[in-house]
């Protein structure tokens, strides 16, 4: 089965990220069969975007050339693969796009390989906005032949496709990317809180940072848009960020790498998750730092 044969795609997980990603595949002319654990979600996707809704994972993958999974955790991926059972045909390609645990993904890949089914991991970065426009950065792990086989399909969803290594390497890279993003967000919020107490305007601070060496993704795309606006709705869950930072720490432990700062970062995100409760956007992490400081950003008169 060559790359051009990957036309019928089972898309398992049409949540915040999966929905716009699957929509890009529909727009590119792929035959998309959507499946989601949330009742009615796949049916809504088919009605609003196109493609076909499947009743369950086994029905979705039956006859599929490619199977895409993008789910909250590796545990959910394992459950989905178990539910698919023998419905995945030998020769199909499984593309695991979740921010998963690399060692778990290697286990899934080995089990599938014994049945003549290839798997690559292809987690993404860019959030919901870039998922909608098809401009995601995709980090690829797996055999080069299978990565190239998937490339035409993935190009409908991303503009930067980078093969970073063997199975699980994409997910390791994604976890480390999110570790850096999580740390940059935290230190940026603390800097804004210090500045506000000194008498600086946080919005002006963001402008200065974006023209200086303190610039990072959070100063560019999160602080004004979701923190200072108090909307806290960037579209990526705080619980998922905490999970990704934990995955990065696990990779650190497996490679015997000292990670004192990363460990502190993980504890901060985990503590915020416990304090703020479930269902929070990751940008609500700013509220955790605000509570520690007894200060709300943007609350002082200019």
Among all residues, which ones are annotated catalytic? Answer: 174
Measured CA to CA, the distance from residue 93 to residue 117 in angstroms comes to 6
Strands 52-53 vs 124-125: parallel, antiparallel or unpaired? unpaired
Query: HSE (CB half, 13 Å, CA atoms) of 252?
Result: 17
- Residue among 209, 234, 232 at smallest CA distance from 289: 232
Measured CA to CA, the distance from residue 162 to residue 139 in angstroms comes to 5
* Helix axes of 169-198 and 238-254: crossing angle, nearest 10 degrees: 120
- Residue among 227, 240, 235 at smallest CA distance from 284: 227
120 touches 140 (CB < 8 A): yes
User: Any residues with CB less than 8 A from the CB of 63 and at least 6 apart, and which?
Assistant: 8, 89
Measured CA to CA, the distance from residue 86 to residue 76 in angstroms comes to 18
């Amino acid at each position: 089965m060559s790359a051009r044969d990957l036309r019928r795609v089972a898309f398992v997980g049409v949540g915040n990220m999966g929905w716009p990603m699957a929509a890009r595949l529909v727009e590119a002319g792929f035959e998309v069969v959507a499946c989601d654990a949330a009742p009615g979600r796949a049916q809504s996707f088919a009605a609003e975007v196109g493609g076909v809704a499947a009743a369950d994972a086994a029905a979705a993958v039956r006859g599929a050339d490619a199977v895409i999974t993008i789910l909250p955790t590796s545990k959910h991926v394992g459950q989905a693969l178990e539910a698919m059972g023998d419905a995945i045909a030998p020769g199909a390609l499984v593309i695991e796009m979740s921010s998963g645990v690399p060692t778990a993904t290697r286990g899934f890949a080995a089990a599938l390989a014994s049945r003549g089914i290839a798997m690559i991991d292809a987690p993404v970065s860019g959030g919901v906005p870039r998922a909608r426009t098809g401009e995601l950065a995709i980090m690829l792990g797996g055999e080069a032949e299978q990565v190239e086989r998937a490339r035409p399909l993935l190009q409908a969803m991303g503009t930067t496709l980078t093969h970073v290594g063997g199975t699980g390497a994409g997910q390791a890279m994604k976890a480390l990317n999110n570790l850096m993003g999580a740390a940059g967000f935290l230190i940026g919020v603390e800097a804004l809180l210090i500045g506000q107490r000194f008498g600086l305007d946080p919005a002006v601070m963001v402008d200065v940072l974006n023209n200086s060496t303190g610039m990072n993704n959070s100063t560019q795309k999160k602080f004004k848009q979701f923190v200072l606006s108090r909307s806290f709705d960037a579209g990526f869950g705080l619980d998922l960020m905490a999970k990704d930072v934990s995955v990065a720490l696990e990779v650190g432990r497996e490679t015997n790498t000292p990670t004192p700062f990363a460990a502190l970062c993980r504890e901060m995100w985990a503590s915020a998750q416990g304090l703020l409760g479930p269902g929070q956007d990751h940008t609500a992490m700013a509220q955790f730092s605000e509570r520690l400081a007894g200060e709300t950003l943007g609350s002082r008169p200019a």
